[in-house]
C-alpha cells in the first residue's frame, strides 16, 4: 500500500511541475579566424575545471566537424543547462590532435569560450566558463 501511495505521489509531482527533468537545449557556436577551408574543427565541452582544455577524457562532450567556412557554425544539441567552458582547435591535417612545435607552441589555430587566453599556458576553466541557460544560445569566439 505504501509503494502505491509513493508511485501516485511521484506521478503527481512530475505532472504538476514540482519535479522536472533537466532542461536541455541547443548551443550554437560561431567560430571565426579560420584561414583555410580544410580539415576539421575539434570541439571539447567541459562542465568541470579538471582537464580543461586539453584532457579530452574529462570532457563532457566532444564534437568533430568538417570545416566548411571561414566562419564556422556548430550546433551542440541536447546540452543540459549549466556552467561550461569550451575549447576548439582547427585540426587542418585531420590527425585528431592539436599539432605543436618542439617547444610545445601550437601550430594550429585554437580558441576558447569568452576568447580566454593566457600568454604562456592554456586558458583556465574559470576564464573560459559561461552559463548556458537559454533555449537557443549563441556563443562566438575567435581561433588564433
Q: What is the pLDDT of residue 3?
A: 53
pTM of the predicted model, to two decimals?
0.83
Q: Are 85 and 48 in contact (CB under 8 A)?
A: no
Q: Are 64 and 45 in contact (CB under 8 A)?
A: no
> Is pLDDT of 14 > 90?
no
Joined grid coordinates for residue 111? 580558441
CB burial string 50-62: b at 16+ within 10 A, e below: eebbeeeeebbbe
Q: What is the pLDDT of residue 137?
A: 94
Quick one: which of 41, 131, 25 has its CA closest to 77?
25
Give, as one character, the DSSP assignment of residue 114. G
Instruction: Spell out the domains of the chain, with CATH numbers in brackets.
Output: 23-142 (2.60.40.10)
With bands split at pLDDT 50, 70 and 90, how would you rate the model's confidence at 95? very high
With bands split at pLDDT 50, 70 and 90, how would you rate the model's confidence at 49? very high
Amino acid at each position: 500500500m505504501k509503494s502505491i501511495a509513493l508511485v501516485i505521489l511521484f506521478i503527481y509531482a512530475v505532472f504538476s511541475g514540482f519535479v522536472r527533468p533537466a532542461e536541455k537545449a541547443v548551443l550554437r557556436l560561431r567560430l571565426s579566424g579560420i584561414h583555410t577551408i580544410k580539415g576539421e574543427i575539434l570541439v571539447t565541452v567541459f562542465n568541470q575545471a579538471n582537464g580543461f582544455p586539453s584532457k579530452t577524457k574529462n570532457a563532457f562532450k566532444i564534437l568533430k566537424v568538417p570545416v566548411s567556412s571561414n566562419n564556422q557554425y556548430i550546433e551542440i544539441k541536447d546540452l543540459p543547462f549549466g556552467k561550461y567552458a569550451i575549447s576548439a582547435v582547427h585540426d587542418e591535417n585531420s590527425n585528431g590532435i592539436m599539432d605543436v612545435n618542439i617547444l610545445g607552441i601550437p601550430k594550429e589555430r585554437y580558441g576558447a569560450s569568452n576568447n580566454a587566453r593566457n600568454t604562456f599556458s592554456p586558458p583556465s576553466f574559470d576564464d573560459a566558463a559561461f552559463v548556458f541557460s537559454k533555449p537557443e544560445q549563441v556563443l562566438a569566439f575567435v581561433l588564433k
